[in-house]
């Protein structure tokens, strides 16, 4: 996400920090670099022009030029303006507690509406304890209904569909069903359409008028850059939607759509899709996104992901095992699975400040986790608890069972042994510090 843009900003900021004093000349040069970086990231030209003008005006202010740390002041101005460009702060969705809540999704073909429909339902079920129903209104794309039905089945979320009716009739029937069944949230997945297709746009207007949704979201593919922004603008003129959902932000997204939509369309980004998994879906936070783009990481999101995916009780048991030096391969496997739930390793590492630039060009093997998991799963319960009993014959059996090589099994066992040795040393150091603290307290009493 924004890899090229982030690298450009990190290089620029490093150069700015190295300046003993900021002048009109070096600020002008820095802004030329910023302008080039934003245009190459497919940010709307008018947005870039406005952004450059505002940053330059503030950077040339006396408080910055006379500051003890002018480089840091300049970086703060760029960060603040970027946050403002994307909306300033996140916008929480507020639903009614005493009646049915309705959402309509609209957008171009291939933007990821159907997948987003399921992600949105899962998000609100987990975050706000809603009982959602998905409604398949796309009767034009051959596999659209089957796809939504399959997604709903995998997430245990009911789907209403009717292959022999029009989208308008499906919406009418679904609304009569939800009132009887006691659902608290219904999400309508409409067909993808072009804004120039008058007949299809008229159908979308009719769906909106019939459903009277609390929220209508325009779903846009982040990878399509300015095309997504232009489509968002045209759709808004037609149906006046309330928010944007940017999908495929984990792909080769140059950042143009995320940085342009609010200024061009006047409508904020509400959510972003950051992966293929159903839970790879986040509320859009402008301040966190700006921090990621500028190479400052995103610790808050990383902590939230950890809190959502790590079991507190299990973590306490694990801490106790580490202290008692009884950490096993089974414990290691369980931790590995929890980390996998948080998302891709590349994405997680990019959230740690300072790591982004170091990862530039580095290929992280995401399948390594799966190979480790396969190796441990091929071991017996006793072997997981007592790795020292795994001899040559057992290693051969484990490698065959996991579809890996004996060398990979050896490497895992060696790394696990090294990890346990390091944990043992850390426990000793902690114990010594505790003893020293007790002695100091005794003498200071």
Tell whether pTM > 0.75: no
Q: Say if residue 255 is in the same domain as residue 126.
A: yes
Instruction: Kindly state whether residues 290 and 308 are assigned to the same domain.
Output: no
Task: Give tens-digit pLDDT for 181-237.
Answer: 878 899 999 888 777 778 888 888 888 888 888 999 999 888 877 888 888 888 888
Domain that holds residue 411: 304-436
Give the separation between CA 141 and CA 111, rounded to whole angstroms: 13
> What is the count of structural domains for the chain?
3
- Dump pLDDT digits (tens) for 31-52: 888 888 888 888 888 888 999 9
**H/E/C letters for each residue in 132-149?**
EEEEECCCCCCCHHHHHH
Query: Per-residue pLDDT averaged across 18-39, rounded?
Result: 81
Distance, in Å, from the CA atom of 295 to the CA atom of 259, rounded to the nearest integer, reads 16
Nearest 5°: the CA angle 228, 234, 240 is 110
Q: Give a yes or no: residue 90 inside a domain.
A: no
Residue 153 lies in a domain: yes
Q: Are residues 341 and 311 in the same domain?
A: yes
**Both 168 and 26 in a single domain?**
no
Same domain, 342 and 217: no
Query: Token pair 């409604």 is at which residue?
Result: 135
In a domain? residue 443 = no
Let me know if residue 192 belongs to a domain. Answer: yes
What CATH number is associated with residue 364? 1.10.260.30
Residues 268 and 314 both lie in one domain:
no
Q: Are residue 247 and residue 334 in the same domain, yes or no?
A: no
- The domain boundary, picked from 52, 85, 118, lies at 85
Residue-wise pLDDT for 323-361, tens only, equals 666 778 888 887 777 776 666 666 665 655 555 555 555
pLDDT at 119 over 90: yes
Considering the domain architecture, whether residues 59 and 106 belong to the same structural domain is answered as no
**Residues 70 and 139 both lie in one domain:** no
Backbone angles phi, psi at 187, to 5 degrees: -120, 125
Please write the tens of the pLDDT for every residue from 370-418. 888 899 899 998 998 888 899 999 999 999 998 989 999 998 888 888 8
């Amino acid at each position: 996400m924004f890899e090229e843009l982030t690298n450009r900003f990190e290089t620029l900021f490093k150069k700015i920090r190295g300046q003993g004093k900021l002048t009109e000349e070096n600020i002008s040069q820095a802004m030329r670099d910023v302008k080039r970086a934003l245009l190459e990231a497919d940010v709307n030209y008018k947005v870039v022009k406005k952004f450059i003008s505002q940053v330059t005006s503030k950077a040339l202010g006396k408080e910055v030029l006379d500051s003890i740390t002018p480089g840091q002041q300049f970086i703060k101005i760029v960060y603040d303006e970027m946050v403002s460009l994307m909306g300033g702060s996140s916008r929480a969705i507020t639903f009614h507690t005493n009646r049915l809540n309705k959402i309509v999704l609209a957008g171009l073909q291939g933007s990821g509406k159907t997948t987003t429909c399921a992600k949105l339902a899962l998000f609100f079920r987990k975050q706000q304890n809603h009982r959602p129903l998905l409604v398949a209104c796309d009767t034009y794309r051959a596999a659209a209904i089957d796809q939504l039905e399959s997604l709903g089945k995998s997430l245990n979320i009911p789907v209403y569909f009717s292959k022999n009716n029009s989208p308008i009739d499906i919406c009418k029937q679904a609304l009569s069903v939800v009132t009887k069944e006691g659902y608290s949230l219904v999400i309508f997945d409409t067909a993808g359409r072009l804004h120039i297709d008058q007949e299809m746009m008229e159908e979308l207007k009719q769906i909106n008028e019939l459903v009277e949704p609390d929220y209508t979201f325009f779903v846009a593919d982040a990878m399509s850059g300015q095309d997504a922004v232009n489509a968002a603008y045209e759709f808004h003129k037609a149906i006046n939607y309330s928010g944007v959902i940017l999908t495929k932000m984990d792909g080769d997204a140059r950042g143009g759509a995320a940085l342009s939509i609010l200024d061009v369309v006047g409508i904020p980004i509400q959510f972003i899709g950051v992966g293929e998994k159903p839970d790879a879906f986040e509320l859009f936070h402008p301040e966190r996104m700006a921090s990621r783009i500028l190479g400052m990481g995103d610790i808050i999101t990383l902590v939230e992901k950890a809190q959502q995916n790590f079991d507190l009780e299990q973590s306490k048991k694990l801490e106790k095992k580490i202290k008692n030096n009884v950490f096993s391969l089974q414990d290691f496997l369980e931790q590995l699975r929890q980390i996998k739930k948080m998302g891709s390793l590349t994405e997680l590492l990019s959230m740690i400040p300072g790591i982004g630039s170091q990862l530039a060009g580095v290929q992280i093997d995401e399948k390594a986790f799966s190979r480790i998991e396969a190796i441990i799963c091929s071991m017996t319960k006793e072997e997981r608890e007592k790795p020292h009993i795994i001899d040559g014959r057992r290693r051969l059996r484990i490698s065959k069972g996991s579809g890996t090589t004996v060398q990979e099994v050896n490497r895992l066992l060696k790394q696990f042994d090294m990890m346990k040795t390091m944990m043992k040393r850390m426990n000793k150091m902690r114990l010594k510090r505790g003893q020293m603290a007790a002695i100091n307290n005794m003498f200071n009493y």
